[in-house]
Amino acid sequence: MKTRIHKLLKDKPIGQNVLVTGWVRTRRDTGGFSFLDINDGSCLANLQIIADDKLKNYNTEVKQLSTGCSVRIEGELKESPAKGQDVELHATMVEVVGTADPETYPLQKKRHSFEFLRELSHLRPRTNALGAVARVRSRLGFSVHQFFQERGFIQVHTPIITTSDCEGAGEMFQVTTGQSGNVAEHFFGKPAGLTVSGQLQAEVYALALGDVYTFGPTFRAENSNTSRHLAEFWMIEPEMAFCDLAGNIQLAEEMLKYLLTDIMTHCEEDMALFDKFIEKGLLKKLAGVVEQDFARISYTEAIDRLLSSGKKFDFPVQWGIDMQSEHERYLSEEVFKRPLVVTDYPSGIKPFYMRLNDDGKTVAAMDVLLPGIGEIIGGSQREERFDALKSRMVEAGIEVEQYSWYLDLRRYGSVPHSGFGLGFERLVQFVTGMTNIREVIPFPRTPGSAPC
């Protein structure tokens, strides 16, 4: 059975015979033998192979190996005299599984730009940086489940096809049937779309099971070609019954700190790569987030801060505006220099389900803003009062009959409840230091682009 390189480098079974598989990164020949660097994706590090001319296919095959070829190699693990590695594998068998024509293989030894690699979403995970992103993303996903499961939250699989528009921003992809292009009206009896958020369905389960979460893909047909927007992205959405806005904010802060601590402990090698090549000081930044309390400010205070800053923004500041990324970043990067929770936004710029505050103008909303990223979490306490919810729905022009199931949750055993949505890719961006969100999802979907 093959051994993953990650495990070999950890356990170092010196003197044992092992089988490894992977792809050739480099080959270097010296008199009578060759050094091969093999990567199998299990970790950033390559395994060095010593292959000599006693191998029967040394001249015919081993000496032809080029970057990208796939191989199975058996041999004895020995201590390495060379600097920069503890062990090396002395090959007794090198099987070439698949060749890769060096004339056409696009991933050459030199460093490629991320823009170039984006055109090669089928090959880019073979590079150091994108491989590291994939491993960090996987660990973060695991850690999200661990965080909630440790706290007794129950995972709910909310639907991908839905007939409810949670955010009401007209950003739903419509679902049609077959070639006809008919909206799914004929199939489901009413128009359906791809979900923009699993929140409304998560609320159903929260009002039965207490603390729940959903973690799945979401879709938004917004025409935003920015470094922080995708048309398909993953969201983590906890929903808690008997929980107010303060409890919601506390969970968000605990969760972010938990995830950052976990990734620094379990992905040291990959994180060191990002710290060195992608964002200098990244690890210090993450440690700083874990150590400090998040700052808190109300929307109204935030607007006052922006107005009195004397700074000229492209988008003019005034109470009631939807804060733009330049405003959010000014507050978190220049004023507070740490994660910032903004609460109590004007009701006019937030969806119908948020709980109306006593002032009658603002809602119990909270956004978490991170330096360098801007908004990473959006959440709220939900409107649990039947009449208040109904009148906000009517105000928002929502067909109340369509959402009678949602109103039922307020009709029968309603409770104060809260939740939020954490954009998974924005989290991976923050953790890896990648400047563009297209690098932190395997197959990015953006306006005009969906290869593979």
Cβ contacts of residue 304 below 8 Å, gap of 6+?
Answer: none
Helices 424-432, 245-266: axis angle to 10 degrees equals 50
Closer CB to ligand 4AD, residue 94 or residue 286?
Answer: 286
Which whole-number Å values give the CA distances from 360 to 89, 240, 333, 346, in the listed order?
71, 24, 31, 9
Give yes or no for a contact between 39 and 9, defined as CB atoms under 8 angstroms apart: no
CB of 182 to Mg ion, least distance (A): 32
Residue 406 touches which member of ligand 4AD, Mg ion, none, C-beta under 5-8 Å by kind: none
- Residue 350 sits in the site that holds ligand 4AD (CB under 6 A): no
CB of 365 to Mg ion, least distance (A): 9
Give yes or no for a contact between 379 and 421, defined as CB atoms under 8 angstroms apart: yes
Residue keyed to tokens 């356990």? 11
Among residues 131, 416, 423, 433, which is the contact residue for ligand 4AD, using CB under 6 A? 423
- Residue 378 sits in the site that holds Mg ion (CB under 5 A): yes
Pick out residues in 108-167 that bind ligand 4AD (CB under 6 A): 166-167
Pick out residues in 356-415 that bind ligand 4AD (CB under 6 A): 375-380
Single out the residue of 148, 51, 152, 162 nearest to residue 406, CA to CA: 162
Q: Which stretch binds ligand 4AD (CB under 6 A): 44-52, 118-126, 139-147, 420-428?
A: 420-428
Residue 166 touches which member of Mg ion, ligand 4AD, none, C-beta under 5-8 Å by kind: ligand 4AD
- Residue 193 sits in the site that holds ligand 4AD (CB under 6 A): no
Binding mask 218-237 for ligand 4AD (x = CB under 6 A): --x-x------xx--x-x-x
CA angle 50/53/55 to nearest 5° reads 80
Residue keyed to tokens 């089988």? 19
Residue 330 touches which member of Mg ion, ligand 4AD, none, C-beta under 5-8 Å by kind: none
Closer CB to ligand 4AD, residue 307 or residue 450?
Answer: 450
Residue type, 279: E
Residue 211 touches which member of Mg ion, ligand 4AD, none, C-beta under 5-8 Å by kind: none
Residues touching ligand 4AD: how many (CB under 6 A)? Answer: 23
Residue 323 tokens read as 């804060």
- Residue 425 sits in the site that holds ligand 4AD (CB under 6 A): yes
Residue 379 touches which member of ligand 4AD, Mg ion, none, C-beta under 5-8 Å by kind: ligand 4AD
Q: Count Cα atoms within 13 angstroms, Cβ side, for 396.
A: 24
d(CA 310, CA 123): 48
Tell me the residue ranges of DSSP E strands in 170-276: 176-177, 182-183, 193-194, 211-219, 232-241
- Residue 417 sits in the site that holds ligand 4AD (CB under 6 A): no
d(CA 298, CA 343): 5
Which residues are at the interface with Mg ion (CB under 5 A)? Answer: 378
Which residues are at the interface with ligand 4AD (CB under 6 A)? Answer: 166-167, 197, 199, 220, 222, 229-230, 233, 235, 237, 375-380, 419-421, 423, 425-426
